[in-house]
Each structure stands twice: as structure tokens, then as C-alpha cells.
Structure 1
Amino acid sequence: MQTKQRDVRRSVSIIVSRGWLQLRFSYGGKRHYISVGLRDTPTNRKIADAKAKLIESDIIYERFDPTLEKYKPQTALSVTTTAAPLPVPKTSLLDLWKQYTQFQQVHLEETTIIRDYGKIEKRIRKFPTPYLEDAIAIQAHLLSKFAAETAKRTLKQLSACCNWAMRKKLISENPFKELAQEVKTKKASKVSRKPFSKECVAAIISAFEHNTYCSRYSPIPHSYYAPYVKFLFHTGCRPEEAIALKWKHVEKNRIYICEAVATDVRIRKTTKTDTPRYFPINQELRAVFDAVRPENPDPNALVFPARGGKEIDTHNFLNRVWRPVVKRLVEAGKVKEYLPQYNCRHTFITLCLESGIISRRVADWCGTSVAVIEEHYAGAIAHIQVPSFGLTNQTTLEDQG
């Protein structure tokens, strides 16, 4: 009577674990792993193959040694009969970043967490290999998808996260430590603080008031934004502070500037310096308020609302209204060069300094420091002339004698 043999083609597999040969097979409902104790070379594979065939044969003819002693070489071999050696788990960069963000929430503005930290989280979620151990691959990915400056900034943030995690004993090393330094970027250009001339200011305001460049299909005429534009030029107020202004902040002879709204995240917060300030209302500014003030204004209503009643979206205004108008004025030769709406602030500061108003007063009005004024607006200050007191024309009593 012939013994029926079961087809067990390669029922014992030869695998490589970290450069060493192992035999893997199942018997009696258990998975077995036997380390051959030999490096993965062509010669050693032949030895492993012979050992695998022996095990297969013993299983077929029911002479398998469940103690596995028969299959061990003369040298001591490690045997695992329960599970394969598990690879060292990788650290999730996303989990680490979330913990870091949660820690920073108590120290930073909510807008910073949502805008800046949220942006990094979105990038991490798109990493092809989102693990701490894949830092080199992440660096290559960032450089392939973003400008060098953005990639460098992201790597710096990830490195800061890892430094924090090391202090908290969550990880033992920072694989991003040197990666940002390897990214070469162009020298950052200084923020333009160029002012508009008085003639350019007049041309811009006129274009808004008369809808000079407003499309007939525009749902909102440019003249709707004219009071807002005038306010920027007449106060040097930051756009996020101007759109946050409510009627309760407008007093008889002064404005109380105490809040700002970042339109990209729609969050109302304190001013950039966290310090409220007062701004005097002159005749020109009073005319701006009179033009937009309702008969009985709600104290909590916005002074310069968007058509829907909410805050003006400063980014949309910049791209869809301000930029087209000013660029058309440049093309028409009425404005020297294009400058963004934030330069209304630089214009106000410059004109004040050129008029002889002291730096301390301008700094107080605009919510900045004297040091910033004197560092960044030195050109305007240099235009101020030393006054003449007429002393050289006076004659002394001695001369008369």
C-alpha cells in the first residue's frame, strides 16, 4: 500500500532577517522560525535549502521532531516557535507634532496655532513616509514640492518639535537637527516700507470714489471701499485692526483701537502688540466716519463691514480690488509703482515724520515702538531740517556800543 504524500512545495521558506538566514514553516497549527545562524550568502543558502528539504521530508513522512533539536546545527541556534521577530516600530511624526501643538497652545496665539501649526500638520499628512526615522526622505519630498524657503522653514519647525520631544523623553535623538541648514535659500529681501506720495494717495482715493476701474459686472462698486481706504491712509492703522473696528470704539474725539481680526482664520483677538491705544479724530477722519455712520448705529456693528455684515476679507480685497486698481493707476502714470494696501500704514508714518511730528507721538498713534520708527523710517526723519532761529542776524549790545 502506497503512502499518500501531500504536496508541500516549498512549505519551508528561506527568509532573510537583517542579513541572517531563517527557516519559516507551519506545523501543528503553529508558525515556527528557526535561525540558521548563517549570513545570507550563496553558499549558506545551499545549506539552508538542504535543511529546509529535510524538514519538509520529515513532515511528509510523519517523522517531524516537534522539539526542533534534530534541525539545529551543531552551533547553538535561536529558535522561536510563537512569532517572528517584530521590526522596531517607527515613530509617527504626525502624533509627535500633535503633542507638540497641544503643548504650544498655552503659549501662543490661537491664530498662530491654527494658521502656522495647522499648515505644518497638513504637510505632514501628505508626506509619503510620515515617520520620524524617514527624515532624509521627508527633506527630499519638501524640496520637490515647495520652494526652498518653505522647505527650510518646515524643517526648522520639525526640528523644534523634535527638540521639545527630546526634552520630554519621548524620543532619544533629533533626525531633523541639521537638515534645515543644508537647504540653501536666497537672502531674504527686506520688507518694503516704501510710502505713496501725497499725489499718489489722492489718485488712489479718487479712483475708488469714482469707480474708475470698477467692472460693470462687479457685484460691489469700488466706491463702497473708499471710506475703508481713506481710513487706512489717515490713521496708519493695520488692516486687521481697521476691519475689527466697531462703532463702540469710535468716541467723540478719539478712536479706541484694541482689537484685530485675522480674516484667514476669522478670529478676533487683541492688537499685534497686545496693547490698546487711542487715535485722535481730526477733521478729515471725522468726515470719513460721517459718510458711513448709520442714523442710530449699533455699538457692536462694524464701522467698515463687508456687504454681508462681517469683517472685510483683507486678502480678497487685496487681490480682487486693491491690486487691480493700483496697477491700472500705475499703467496710467498716476501712481509711480504698485505697493500693497499695508503700505498705507508706511505712507501715514512717513508723512507724519516728514511733517516734523516726533517719533514718540507717531509710535503711540500707530501701535509700534520708537526704535522701529527710527530704524525703518530713517529716510523720512533725515528730511526734517534743523530750524533756523535767526540768531545770526541779532546784534549784541556790545556791537552797538
Structure 2
Amino acid sequence: MKAKVAQGKACKGTVQIKNSNGCLQLVFSYAGKRHYISTGFTDIPTNRKVVEMRARQIELDILSGHFDPTLAKYKPESLHSTVTPIFTPINKPRIETGPSLVELWEKYTDFKRPSLSPSTIAKDFTNVSRCIDRSLPTKTLDGAVKIRDWLVANKSSSTAKRILTQLSACCDWAVKSQLIKLNPFEGMSTDIKIPKGKKDDGDINPFSQEERDQIIAAFQSNQNYKHYASLIEFLFYTGCRPSEAVALQWKHVAKDFNSIRFEQAVVISQSGLTCKPGLKTQKKRIFPVNARLANLLKSIKPSFRAGEAKVFPSPEGKWIDVHNLAQRAWKTVLSTLSEIEYRKLYQTRHTFITLALDNKMDVKDVAKLVGNSPEIIYRHYAGQSKEIIVPDF
């Protein structure tokens, strides 16, 4: 009787045997990392008994502390060297199918991990991994067309294009690493056209000065979310990125309150919220504090100002999750201001830059304050904030 294919994740220290497109695969976790080993055996009772022996060996090695982290001991070459070659019921030899998309993506992620931020790994790479593991109709490279068609039919144009781009990059790396001969996803993403959509975080639609002040006042009077009022005020007064603001510690604020040093950001990683050194476009920048901003900082300064203490902690004293802040507090408070058009939290940055330019600040100075290049300010802000007057002629 054919053994039942395992479903779901294995318990810690156990090894599952899965059917992956007709072939048996070993799946297990070790040291917090998920491993997939293709055995090369077709799923027939005789082959399954052989693979079960190897699964038990891995479990024993993990328990006894003799686990081989290189996996060489458990891969197909080692497995086949200890057994007689198995033939399928129709008396044909096993056909090598090459590495699966799951294995390639895992290897590619490990290769890229040192050069990527924790947030990129957590969001972009983990999302693709989850899609490969749980959703795609096939996990073999010869099913690339089927994968493309499924993505186009089940995902938005931008998501399908992004995943295909990442799968192609993975396979390009695999070709260079001599793991596969051809990239089956090459050029697929270019065929997907993304329609022009609604405004997003990158669009500039700033609040007016009056709207800014109404939003700050609304946060200050809101019983559920007034804890975040000082942070919202700070975002409007500095134009910094929200991830930079929530990462501020009192050691970054000068003792005389005349400057702030931005040099880290809170991002989402695989382990949760993580404070990482460096900013999006630079290592650090100094922001000069005016009288209004100094008064804000003085009003929230704790009596004992420990350097490592957070300037804007969550109600529980932890890092503030910007995504949750935007989805809950920001949306809720702005919904009470019916006269103000809803715009996303990131527009606090666009508002500061636009108001600074409206008040005749030099473009280069504004760029330095917010961590952009003058070219970006000219391209995206200066033209919009400048009133065009047609002279009489």
C-alpha cells in the first residue's frame, strides 16, 4: 500500500517525506532553517522505504549532534551510493529532473542574504518563497509557462511582474552558478504591462499648513491614539521618513536641543521589527532644530534621559510598527476630519518639503535636510510648489 504523503510542516527534529511532482523529497528544519532535499526517487512503495531510512538517519543525526550542515551526507549522490538502483514499475530507469524551484530559490536567498537588508529579505524574498511553496501549480523549471500563466491569472499585474522578475534573477544566478543550463523565466516579466493606477506613496499630494495643524490637533484630542500625537507632529516638522523617526533614541538628540542626528531606521525583518544602522540613501544626516521643534522635544523628554531610551516608544515601550500606525491610528484619526482628503502617512514628508520650498528655502538645503538629492527635489517638488504666472505680452 502506498505511503501517505505528509502534509504541513514537520515538528521540530522530524523529517517529512513529500511527493514533489512524482518524486520523493525530504523536508525538515534545522537551526531555524528550512531544508528541502530532492532524493531523485519516484514515489513508489519500494523507493519510499529507502527514503524513509534516510529520513530516520537525519533525525538521529540531529538528535545525536552529528548532523551534517552541508547536507552532502543526505543528498541524492550519497543516497544512491548505498542502494541498488531502483526502477519504476514500467522498467525504465529514473530520470534526473534537476533542482526544483524551491531548492534554487532557497540557495539564491542564502547567496543574496549578506548583501540585502533584513526588510528586503522579510518582505520581498519571504513573499516569493511563500508563493512558491504554497501557491504555484508546479515547482519544476519545465513548468515556467504554467507558472507565468497562473501568476497572471491569480495575481495583480504588478505582483505577477515582480515575482517573475525575481524568479528570472534567481535562475540567472543559477545558470552562472552552473546549477542549471537555461533560464526558463527569461524575458517573461517584460511581457506584462502595468496599467496606470491610483496614487501611491510615491505620489506627491501634500497637506496644506492648515490641514497639517488640524491633523496634529486631532491626534492630540483623540482618546485612543493621542499617544502618537508627538510623533505625528515630529514627522510634519522634520519631513523625515517614518522609519527614521521611530528609530530615534535620546542619544541622537543634542543636549541643548539644537540638532538631531538621524543614523538608523526601524524595518521589518524575519524576526520582527529590527533597528538597523544607516538610512535609505545615506549613513547619517544632521537636522538643525528650530524653536518649535525644540519645544516639542522638551515637552516629551523624560526626567531621566537615558541615551538608549526611545524618543517615540510604543505604549508598551517597544519600537513603533509604522505599518500598524498607518493602518490603524492614522486612518482612524483622519476619518474624523471629513473636510480633509485622505492621504497616506508618508505625505507628512511631502508636506514638509513642499512647505519649505513655498517659504523660499533653497532646494539644496531642503535636499540636505531630508536626505534626498537636489535633482530629486527639483524633479518632484520644485516644479509643483512653484506658482507659474504668465506675464502680459
Instruction: Give the alignment's TM-score, normalised by structure 1.
Output: 0.69
Distance (whole Å) between structure 1 residues aligned to residue 187 and residue 368 of structure 2: 42
- Aligned runs of 1:1-400 on 2, under 5 Å? 84-126=92-134, 127-187=136-196, 191-211=202-222, 214=223, 221-251=224-254, 252=256, 253-263=258-268, 265-269=272-276, 270-329=278-337, 331=338, 333=339, 335=340, 337-383=341-387
The amino acid that maps onto 1:133 is D
**Closer, same or farther: CA 81–381 of 1 in aligned 2, 3 Å:** closer
Question: 1:353-373: CA deviations, max 9, x gaps?
Answer: 111110111111111110111
Moved beyond 6 Å, runs of 4+: none
**Closer, same or farther: CA 272–326 of 1 in aligned 2, 3 Å:** same
Match of 1:72 in 2: none
The amino acid that maps onto 1:167 is K
Distance (whole Å) between structure 1 residues aligned to residue 89 and residue 115 of structure 2: 52
The answer on whether the counterparts of 2:357 and 2:382 sit within 8 Å (CA) in structure 1 is: no
Instruction: Give the alignment's TM-score, normalised by structure 2.
Output: 0.71
Distance (whole Å) between structure 2 residues aligned to residue 301 and residue 325 of structure 1: 27
The answer on whether the counterparts of 1:354 and 1:381 sit within 8 Å (CA) in structure 2 is: yes
**Ranges in structure 1 where 5+ consecutive residues have no aligned partner:** 1-79, 215-220, 386-401
Question: 1:176-198: CA deviations, max 9, x gaps?
Answer: 11322333331366621111001
Specify the SS of the correspondent of 1:299: coil
Specify the SS of the correspondent of 1:377: helix
The answer on whether the counterparts of 2:122 and 2:268 sit within 8 Å (CA) in structure 1 is: no
Question: 1:369-392: CA deviations, max 9, x gaps?
Answer: 10111000023552499xxxxxxx
**Closer, same or farther: CA 124–81 of 1 in aligned 2, 3 Å:** closer
* Percent identity (aligned): 39
Specify the SS of the correspondent of 1:285: helix
The answer on whether the counterparts of 1:90 and 1:133 sit within 8 Å (CA) in structure 2 is: no
Specify the SS of the correspondent of 1:279: strand
Distance (whole Å) between structure 1 residues aligned to residue 289 and residue 127 of structure 2: 40
Question: 1:112-161: CA deviations, max 9, x gaps?
Answer: 12221111111110223111111112112222331121011101110111
Moved more, 337-346 or 176-185: 176-185
Distance (whole Å) between structure 1 residues aligned to residue 289 and residue 93 of structure 2: 76
**Closer, same or farther: CA 114–138 of 1 in aligned 2, 3 Å:** same
The answer on whether the counterparts of 1:263 and 1:311 sit within 8 Å (CA) in structure 2 is: no
Distance (whole Å) between structure 1 residues aligned to residue 116 and residue 320 of structure 2: 25
Distance (whole Å) between structure 2 residues aligned to residue 199 and residue 187 of structure 1: 31
The amino acid that maps onto 1:137 is K
**Closer, same or farther: CA 378–189 of 1 in aligned 2, 3 Å:** farther
The amino acid that maps onto 2:217 is S
The answer on whether the counterparts of 2:175 and 2:182 sit within 8 Å (CA) in structure 1 is: yes
Higher Rg of the two aligned structures: 1
How many residue pairs were aligned?
294
Distance (whole Å) between structure 2 residues aligned to residue 315 and residue 110 of structure 1: 16
Distance (whole Å) between structure 1 residues aligned to residue 101 and residue 353 of structure 2: 45
**Closer, same or farther: CA 81–102 of 1 in aligned 2, 3 Å:** closer
Question: CA shift at 1:338, angstroms?
Answer: 0.9
**Closer, same or farther: CA 231–157 of 1 in aligned 2, 3 Å:** same
**Ranges in structure 2 where 5+ consecutive residues have no aligned partner:** 1-87
